[in-house]
Amino acid sequence: MTTAYKDIVHLINTKMKDFRKEIPETLQGFNMMAAATHHEGALTRKTKELMAMAIGIAARCQGCLGFHAQACVKLGVTRAEFEEMLQVAIYMGGGPSLMTAAEALAAYEEFGGEQALGA
């Protein structure tokens, strides 16, 4: 694992700026969908981010790992909460999700999750 998730997030953000100009309707639709899910409701924002990370693990999406790790850290997800989510993702996805879960933990640590304790 030599992936730098901060670099991945930066690269994707740069391309998203291009998309806003080149395919604005698509980006507007996606942003509206994201906004509709990022509020407190029956589930907390933290729970929703943990769910998004678990799906990112199952989909083996490195960009997802970067963005959702960053969001988890900003929302104060503890290492214990993050590791419980990893357990569920691994259980649901088997061996490939185990590999991607290790990458997700690296992304969480890279963004300073619990000040990268145990890193």
Superfamily classification of domain 5-36+44-116: AhpD-like (1.20.1290.10)
Q: For residue range 3-59, list pLDDT tens digits in order.
A: 799 999 999 999 999 999 999 999 999 999 999 998 899 999 999 999 999 999 999
What's the pLDDT at 42? 96
**Are 64 and 55 a contacting pair, CB within 8 Å?**
yes
pTM, two decimal places: 0.88
Could you give the CA distance from residue 54 to residue 101 in angstroms, rounded to a whole number?
8
Collapsing DSSP to helix, strand or coil, 111 comes out as: coil
What's the pLDDT at 62? 93
Q: For residue range 77-113, list pLDDT tens digits in order.
A: 999 999 999 999 999 999 999 999 999 999 999 999 9
**86 contact partners, CB below 8 Å, separation of at least 6:** 57, 101, 104, 105
Domain assignments of the chain as residue spans, ordered by start:
5-36+44-116
What's the pLDDT at 2? 57
What's the pLDDT at 119? 47
